[in-house]
A and B are shown apart, each in its own frame.
Chain A
Amino acid sequence: MTDGMMAIAILLPLLAGLVIFLVRDYYARNVVVVVTALTLIANSILFVVKGPFTYTPTGFNWGLVIEVLDYAILIFYLYLGFTLRNWLVLIFAVTQLIPLAYFEFVMKAHVEVAPAFVVDNLAIIMCLVISIVGSLICIYALRYMYDHEQHAHVEKSRQSRFLLWLVLFLGAMNGLVFANNLVWLYFFWEVTTMCSFMLISHDKTELAIKNAARALWMNSTGGTAFIIAIIYLYVTQGGASALSMQNIIGGTLQGSILLLPVALLCYTGCTKAAQMPFQSWLLGAMVAPTPVSALLHSSTMVKAGVYLVLRLAPAYAGTYVSTAVAIVGAFTFFGTSALAISQSTGKRVLAYSTIANLGLIIACAGINTPLSIAAAILLIIFHAISKGMLFLCAGTIEHLIWSRDIEDMEGLAAKAPLTTLITALGILSMFLPPFGMLLGKWIALEAAYRIPLAAVLFVLASTMTIVFWTKWLGRLLQVLPKLGWPFEKLSLSYSVPLWTLLVGIFVVGIGVAPIYQNFVASAAHNVISGTQIFASGWDNMSLSGTSVKGLLGYFPVWALYAVFAIAVLLPLIFVGLKPTQLRPVYMCGEQSGAMDADEYMAEADTKTKVILGGYYFQDSLGEKTLNPVVNTIAILLLVIMIGCGVILK
């Protein structure tokens, strides 16, 4: 059965993708996508039921296939570098290709590792996130891409090509989280990089291609570091056993020499997780159609980066690398939260917030206590759900008002109350109690005291988080007196993923205690105590159905949900407080016209519209001002991180 499960998780997406690519019929394609999505979801649940196991494929020389494909991908990069005349892409393709060739042909390295795949609790959680959130996004993409091409008047539909890469991405991600063999892991890593390139450049506009190329070379620097780490491990630790993830984190290798490759791998993780100073590729990726952003941000791609860093946590536990990782993450959390304030494009705010949250997760990994690791895993889950949903909302809004600008979302509640409501709840779930993200932040803050600098950065960053979210929320909920009613109709392909994710936020949020107990705790434990992979019984948080009680504090989950319900949901139905009369807003006595008019009398007795814009602090927090500063600091921090690996053995 494990054979089948692994095959479905990794190969089905590839297969389905090819079918979709070949079957050009809209409806048939939809059926294939939906069936694949459902299968993946079911399969991921099967993993939960089955529990942790290890797996090594037999009967076919998969190693060779992967090797060949590795070269194929890298040569494809070379080709891209030439055709796009992008020297950075070219250079970093070469820097990967040459060591890889050297590793395999000159060193004649033997890279068989057993087990090839380790399916532990962390991997299962990742698989769940990838399969469920990712599949929902694929379903969403069906209608979205249709609308997208309608709006752009594309003559020859390229939807099937798009869906191919989208679906394939899920398979690669599954492979990535299960892989134990570093070389295989590297392969899946490159597949995700390539998929992301194809998806970002999908629209074939100049900007799209430019940004895709940027994503490609930035991730290729990570790939280069990955290969160097592999070679270094192989050479210093002697043989293929050093290429097993379990061995690296399990402490069976020589710790002191291990630190440099681990630091390099952390760097790789940071590139993929778009940590500063690499945030620009993820922001550039915003040109892609929204499902791509949703996928890249919630369940795949960037999550691969944090997964790697998190996975390696025990390998660098207790060293200065750990502290450096924490500071790198915390600083990214801080820097991007500040940058987000100056953004007026919805998707860019979401992007910055994603990077910020990834920074938080990486910082948690760096803090490296059981508590912080648990926080990191919780954050991965909650973030995937909320952010996936928010991107889908952004896409839906974009197709309602054909704009991504937050300022244009004013009065959306009147036009599209349902979308607004879901978006608003999504935003609330990102930064306020009682929702999961905040629970994660709470645990993170409790854990952060080990590294006070990180704690201070957390504090500042989470304050700024409040600012940009609230700004957006306020704009979204700004209502003229007449509310839209009834709810607008959304196509099934939109509404099913949205509703599912919304329900998911509440279910996972309210049920966080049992979820934590049953999965997260043991997953965190998997991470922490690398050697005893499947051990259980580790307990740092005492739990009941209603609350999470740490050693340090008390998070009354249900009570907070109750307060939330009383505060926000109750008044919506509470008739007694409703106004008896509506009067126009105060405009210094010069408002004119009907109740909901937003005009006033100005010079020469003419009507003028009142225009309200948000605060963006372009001068003090704009990208132009802040980017040079924060990027410099971030580069320094990364250098220090790797330097710690070299110097402070």
Chain B
Amino acid sequence: MENIIQITKNDIVNEGKKLLDAGAKFVTAVCNDLDEKLEVTYFFSANRGVDLTCLRYTVGKDEEVPSLTGTTLSTLLIENEMKELFGLKVKDLAIDYGGHLMLAHDSPTTPMLKPKKAEAESKGEI
């Protein structure tokens, strides 16, 4: 994957806005569980959708991160989803589904996080 720009969580709003103002379109965001931290990547496309640009930041699991929904509604669903599935603490969402966008009351919480301990064990084995 080319074009990955590492930023900090606080830059995301500014950087995102810059890209959008330049005519880019928000594509999606991906959250990865890096065991201790969460890695968040925002994808933007430009040039008739052919070129991709990624903004990536890494945060601790209990850190709050800003939301892009103040700038563009297109991140609404994905940010809610990351909040719900990964426990990413996104604040100031335009519509906050309160962790029940996808999941019902009796669904497992933050199901996408990897089991930390089990992983540690398996790593230990290796």
Contacts and interface: CB of A to CB of B under 8 A. Distances in A.
Interface stretch (B52-60, B96-104, B112-120): B96-104
B123 interface: no
A603 B96 CA distance: 10
A605 interface: yes
A551 interface: no
A321 B99 CA distance: 74
A604 B105 CA distance: 9
Interface in B67-126: 97-101, 104-105
A604 B100 CA distance: 5
A604 B104 CA distance: 8
Interface in A601-619: 603-605
B74 to A, nearest CB: 19
Nearest to B105: A605
Interface string A593-637: 000000000011100000000000000000000000000000000
A602 to B, nearest CB: 10
Nearest to B107: A605
Contacts of A603: 97, 100
Contacts of A604: 97-101
A559 B123 CA distance: 91
Q: Chain A binding site: helix, strand, loop or mixed by DSSP?
A: helix
Nearest to B95: A603
A304 B101 CA distance: 65
| Chain A interface bracket (under 10, 10 to 19, 20 to 34, 35 or more) | under 10
Interface string A239-268: 000000000000000000000000000000
A604 B101 CA distance: 6
| Chain B interface bracket (under 10, 10 to 19, 20 to 34, 35 or more) | under 10
Contacts of B105: 605
Nearest to B96: A604
A604 B98 CA distance: 6
A301 B81 CA distance: 67
Contacts of B101: 604
B99 to A, nearest CB: 8
A202 B97 CA distance: 53
A589 to B, nearest CB: 14
B100 to A, nearest CB: 4
A603 B93 CA distance: 15
Interface string A413-449: 0000000000000000000000000000000000000
Contacts of A605: 100, 104-105
A605 B104 CA distance: 7
A604 B99 CA distance: 7
Contacts of B99: 604
A599 to B, nearest CB: 16
Nearest to B106: A605
A605 B98 CA distance: 9
A435 B75 CA distance: 62
Nearest to A605: B100
A601 to B, nearest CB: 10
A605 B100 CA distance: 7
B81 to A, nearest CB: 13
A378 B100 CA distance: 64
A534 to B, nearest CB: 79
Nearest to B99: A604
A12 to B, nearest CB: 70
Contacts of B100: 603-605
A605 B105 CA distance: 7
Contacts of B97: 603-604
A117 B98 CA distance: 80
A605 B107 CA distance: 12
Interface string A286-307: 0000000000000000000000
A496 B100 CA distance: 57
A428 B75 CA distance: 55
A345 B97 CA distance: 37
A605 B97 CA distance: 9
A162 to B, nearest CB: 54
A381 B89 CA distance: 73
Nearest to B104: A605
A604 B107 CA distance: 13
A603 B98 CA distance: 9
Nearest to B97: A604
B28 to A, nearest CB: 22
A604 B93 CA distance: 14
A550 B98 CA distance: 71
A604 B97 CA distance: 5
A606 to B, nearest CB: 8
A603 B100 CA distance: 8
A172 B117 CA distance: 95
Interface string A540-565: 00000000000000000000000000
Contacts of B98: 604
A603 B101 CA distance: 7
A603 B104 CA distance: 10
Interface in A564-604: 603-604
B15 to A, nearest CB: 30
Interface in A204-242: none
Given A604-B97, A605-B104, A605-B105, 7 more contacts: A603-B97, A603-B100, A604-B98, A604-B99, A604-B100, A604-B101, A605-B100
10 contacts: A603-B97, A603-B100, A604-B97, A604-B98, A604-B99, A604-B100, A604-B101, A605-B100, A605-B104, A605-B105
* Across the A-B interface, the 7 shortest Cβ-Cβ residue pairs: A604-B100, A604-B98, A605-B100, A604-B97, A605-B105, A603-B97, A605-B104
Interface of A: 603-605
Interface of B: 97-101, 104-105
